[in-house]
Structure 1
Amino acid sequence: MSIPGRLEKSPMRLPTKSGMSGIVMTAFAAFGGMLFGYDTGTIAGIIQMEDWIKTFGVRDSNSSTGYSLPTSRESLVVSILSAGTFLGAMSGAPAADSLGRRIGIMVSCMVFSLGVTLQTGAHNLATFVVGRFFAGFGVGLVSTLIPMYQSECSPKWIRGAIVSCYQWAITIGLLLAAVINNATKDRHNHSAWQISISMQLIWAFVLFVGMIWLPETPRWLIKMNRPDDAAKALARLRSLPENDPVVQSELAEITSALEAERGMGQSSYLDCFRSTHNKIALRTYTGIALQAWQQLTGVNFISYYGITFFTSAGIQNPFLISVAINIVNMGMTLPGMWAVDRFGRRSLLLWGAVLMCVCEYLVAILGVTISINNLAGQRALIGIVCIYVGTFAATWGPVAWVIVGEIFPLNVRAKGISLSAASNWLWNWALAFATPYLVNSGKGDAGLGVKVFFIWGSTCAGCIIFTYFCIPETKGLSLEQIDLLYQNSTPLSSSRYRRELIADERSPAAGSGAAAAQEEKGETWVMEEV
């Protein structure tokens, strides 16, 4: 069968399993998620620590400690990180295109470390807030550059799982933050929160040193007119010789796609919103909206304010409950990493949104109907929150980043991912800033408490509608084939056209249906190219 607009390639042999070292190298870049997850998770416990409140709060005779944290300060300290990440994400595109994906990640680590250092040594609120901003700026850069680096370096058959490693690293960071906060919370001096914050320097150092040894992405090197370096990088990533037909075919495909895009002229941010035959505007709006809806699932309410919420709900040992929920979050990301290349992106988003919607309405209903002294009810509430967080971890957590990393063509990829990540952080900031005013019961606050989950349940219903009409199925396609998918299908017809693309690619060379079936199951590492 002939697919309209297909990229022509030469017949090639079916390689044996190879490339494990390249897969490990690409997966290592996911360590950047540790910066993201730990920095997001640690603040939830820090703002509840007695010494931190005494240092950065205000005197309050009604408080048992003599100090309290006003809603305005709580909102500022938590949300300023997201303001920095928004600007960092917007800066990710120029950093990626000028410095390269690899060097850009290393620069991100240095900016992040500056912010961590300022927070650790802070003795007034202004210095702490500035440190949070710079740490956020570094995290914003990372959130743009890491998915981009992984998408451009990964073999297509396992790209979803590799990019999902980024989300897994985020959950590991969240878990470590909860564990370390729990270990230091009872200290009665600055070390209670300084230890938690300064640990982040270790994660930044590991990522920085690791990136020294990793190759630049072949696609960026091709874009910079460095074909020889691109061949060396791709050969290293695939564990094959530079003159191997697999390497040469992939380079030819990347070059062909880039030349076609260059024929349309230089790209700018405005080009991301132009309606073209390549549907770049649709892709941009999809990426921006997808990241917005991911935040509107409400999961960061648990990350930022989970300990505060469980305390107000009358649950004992909220720090330990936070650790348990983060264990669920980390553990459930693993089946999501497997499922994204098995069941596809679209299905996981749809069913994940359905289950989260049900869980959030149940949490809201339970919260308003049971007493804080009802032990069985409190256990049920914790259990449903765990199911909700686990569902997010297996679906919307990793899959949103996978899709954003693969739907943009090379000439606008950096800008498209940058805009999508910026959308994530803009909504993250808005929700982090507004949530204390929605949940708290002080003067000028809405006092919703647990009823805020009615809002999250309704937004998850919006996630279902958005996914059904706007998200195509891209499982198993190369980044260049995804261009063809957008040009010749709609999200509703994408699954059928995807099957046609894969069938057209396999039919001349597979020799039998067995090889095709094996590749679909992930049993062969590199599929024959035609």
Structure 2
Amino acid sequence: MAGGPSGTAEGVSNASLVWAVIMSAFAAFGGILFGYDTGTIGGVIAMQDWLQTFGDYDPALNLGINGYYLKTSNKSLVVSILSAGTFFGALLAFPMGDMVGRKKGIVCSCVIFALGVGLQLDTKWSTFVVGRVIAGLGVGLVSCLVPMYQSECSPKNIRGLIVGLYQLAITIGALLAAIVLNATKDELSHSSWRTPISVQFAWAFILGGGMLLLPESPRYLLHKNRVGAARRALGRLTNRPADSPEVDAECTEITLTLEEERAVGTGSYADCFKNNELKAGLRTWTGIMLQGWQQLTGINFIFYYGTTFFQSAGISNPFIITVIADVVNTCMTIVGVQLIDRVGRRRLLLIGAAGMMVCEYIVAIVGVTAGQVAADGTVNLAAQRVLIAFVCFYIAFFATSWGPVAWVITGEIFPLNIRAKGMSLSVASNWLWNFGIGYATPYLVDTSTKGQPNGVATAALHVKVFFIWGSTCLGCLIFTYFFIPETKGLSLEQIDLLYKESSILNSEKYRREMIVANETHAHHEKPTESHDDSSEEAAKV
């Protein structure tokens, strides 16, 4: 059943693939805002001048640098408070994305982020913390609006690659942060930490300025009944005239899908959780839980607290190890984004969860046995190398699977009528878990100072925390098997049909049948189940 003139099922088919990639992938630059900040704060709180400016002084505790240290409560606050801001920023992505638009919403987010960065240059603790909250609002908005914009503007056959570039940008941002931190860490002035923070102005300017030159999402414009503007935007994205048959067919398919969705619900928050024929409730909870499980892999433990963790493990140059971890993350994400549209979303998540689980259990077992630091300060070099190696393997599995794929699935599983709301709830879940894990980790990992002046009671798990992360990765594996469908090669409108007509476990088979039949809303007939030749002959008789 070919799509015909009323629907192509091409997603955003393009006469120039290079132009399609450039137009829809530029927004991925937004990932640098998140990745760079994540990588920066972990190194900044380990710098001498920053500790002297914001920390406490007590040489008797033998913590920090030259007697200056950061209380566990303040460490939790300064690292995790950005995630609190991003949580609310993600929730605000719905009114921003649906009222202002995907494109202008990203530009406004960059302005908010830049304001937060500026406040972090102050030497007052309260101003620094408020700056991280405001920067978090901007990051939260960007983290929802960017994958949304990319999903709605990219061709279906490379949508996984395009949206996956957002995660690649996150890793590049973290790598750039590690490089800048390594270059400024030995300075004994405010510039040691102000320089890495100030670099973020450039990222906001590049993203905001570049987005002004790009077209608005045609799906958003059709959602707002701005048909003429949608045709012009789609024409720019596809490198075709606005009145061409291809643009007309694409607009017709999107409009038909939107009309079906509006017939089922009004697009309210309540509709996000209704188990109607669109399975909106299932899709919303899938997005919320998927983003939560991504954080529960424990990946941000490495990037938030990697420097201080490697220090506590007795590694002599933890900044270099952090750079190595960021290089692995970036390189393997490059590999991962190319696999999304080849291997498939569901299969990559299953492989990644299993691989991370094994690596984290190995790190935990080695860490509590041969990897312990002796009372005299000596360390087992072989055990250290094993710890570093399997932390890198763990990062590699994450980078090729749960890192990019979670954003891809979140950007594509929602109906257009509730996409902004569904994505904002899902991304808010990511940041809520990010905040919780970021805040709780020092209390789980740090050495307890209970009984000492200004002391804090902690679990002091140290490397044993990897037993927790390994177990949560087992949860990721189970969740993927039962809740994540295979959507490789389908347009956003075809994914609606997949949810309506198939089950999760049968999604791979149904997906292949849809692609063979070129099933669309304009030409929809549920693919028949496979049957043998004898039954077919009997039917003919």
TM-score, length of structure 1 as denominator length: 0.92
Aligned ranges for residues 412-427 of structure 1 at < 5 Å?
Answer: 412-427=418-433
Between the aligned partners of 1:462 and 1:33, the Cα distance in structure 2 is 26
Structure-1 residue corresponding to 2:528: none
- Asked if 2 retains the 8 angstrom alpha-carbon contact of 1:19 and 1:239, the reply is no
Structure-2 residue corresponding to 1:70: 71
CA gap 1:175/1:16 in 2 versus in 1, 3 angstroms: closer
Between the aligned partners of 1:437 and 1:329, the Cα distance in structure 2 is 26
- Asked if 2 retains the 8 angstrom alpha-carbon contact of 1:35 and 1:139, the reply is yes
Aligned ranges for residues 89-168 of structure 1 at < 5 Å?
Answer: 89-120=90-121, 122-168=122-168
Deviation string, structure 1 residues 232-275 (Cα, Å, up to 9, x no partner): 11111111122222221111100111112222342211211111
Structure-1 residue corresponding to 2:330: 330
CA gap 1:261/1:42 in 2 versus in 1, 3 angstroms: same
The CA deviation at 1:7 is 10
The CA deviation at 1:285 is 0.4
- Asked if 1 retains the 8 angstrom alpha-carbon contact of 2:295 and 2:434, the reply is yes
Deviation string, structure 1 residues 59-96 (Cα, Å, up to 9, x no partner): 21224513111100000000100000000000001100
Between the aligned partners of 2:502 and 2:307, the Cα distance in structure 1 is 46
Q: Does 1:450 align with 2:463?
A: yes
Aligned ranges for residues 292-307 of structure 1 at < 5 Å?
Answer: 292-307=292-307
Which blocks of at least 5 consecutive residues in structure 1 are unaligned?
508-530
Between the aligned partners of 1:504 and 1:436, the Cα distance in structure 2 is 54
Structure-2 residue corresponding to 1:291: 291
Structure-2 residue corresponding to 1:518: none
Deviation string, structure 1 residues 336-360 (Cα, Å, up to 9, x no partner): 1110000100000001000000000
The CA deviation at 1:228 is 1.0
Between the aligned partners of 1:100 and 1:159, the Cα distance in structure 2 is 20
Structure-1 residue corresponding to 2:410: 404
> Which letter maps to 1:376?
A
The CA deviation at 1:335 is 1.2
Between the aligned partners of 2:465 and 2:4, the Cα distance in structure 1 is 50
Deviation string, structure 1 residues 421-445 (Cα, Å, up to 9, x no partner): 0000000000000000000112210
> Which letter maps to 1:501?
M
RMSD of equivalent CA atoms: 1.8
CA gap 1:451/1:151 in 2 versus in 1, 3 angstroms: same
Moved segments of 4+, more than 6 Å: none
Percent identity over the alignment is 60
CA gap 1:348/1:7 in 2 versus in 1, 3 angstroms: farther
Aligned ranges for residues 307-322 of structure 1 at < 5 Å?
Answer: 307-322=307-322
The residue matched to 2:518 in structure 1 has which SS? helix
The CA deviation at 1:412 is 0.2
Instruction: Tell me which of 42, 45, 54 is aligned to 1:44.
Output: 42
> Which letter maps to 1:422?
A
Q: Which range moved further: 419-428 or 222-231? A: 222-231
Instruction: Tell me which of 488, 496, 500 is aligned to 2:501.
Output: 488
- Asked if 1 retains the 8 angstrom alpha-carbon contact of 2:9 and 2:253, the reply is no
Deviation string, structure 1 residues 285-314 (Cα, Å, up to 9, x no partner): 000000000000000000100001000001
- Asked if 2 retains the 8 angstrom alpha-carbon contact of 1:83 and 1:429, the reply is yes
> Which letter maps to 1:22?
A
CA gap 1:458/1:274 in 2 versus in 1, 3 angstroms: same
The CA deviation at 1:506 is 8.2
Aligned residues: 503
Aligned ranges for residues 161-240 of structure 1 at < 5 Å?
Answer: 161-240=161-240
Q: Which range moved further: 235-244 or 93-102? A: 235-244
Structure-2 residue corresponding to 1:355: 355
The residue matched to 1:213 in structure 2 has which SS? coil
The CA deviation at 1:48 is 0.2
CA gap 1:361/1:210 in 2 versus in 1, 3 angstroms: same
Which blocks of at least 5 consecutive residues in structure 2 are unaligned?
374-378, 451-456, 521-541
Between the aligned partners of 1:10 and 1:425, the Cα distance in structure 2 is 37
- Asked if 1 retains the 8 angstrom alpha-carbon contact of 2:49 and 2:192, the reply is yes
The CA deviation at 1:205 is 0.3
- Asked if 2 retains the 8 angstrom alpha-carbon contact of 1:235 and 1:242, the reply is yes
Between the aligned partners of 1:278 and 1:463, the Cα distance in structure 2 is 25
Instruction: Tell me which of 481, 490, 508 is aligned to 1:468.
Output: 481
Deviation string, structure 1 residues 8-63 (Cα, Å, up to 9, x no partner): 936899x9952422320110100000001001110010000001011111121224
Between the aligned partners of 1:439 and 1:309, the Cα distance in structure 2 is 8
Q: Does 1:433 align with 2:439?
A: yes
Structure-1 residue corresponding to 2:6: 9
Instruction: Tell me which of 14, 17, 20 is aligned to 2:18.
Output: 20
> Which letter maps to 1:354?
A
- Asked if 2 retains the 8 angstrom alpha-carbon contact of 1:439 and 1:452, the reply is yes
> Which letter maps to 1:21?
W
Structure-2 residue corresponding to 1:32: 30
TM-score, length of structure 2 as denominator length: 0.91
The residue matched to 2:341 in structure 1 has which SS? coil
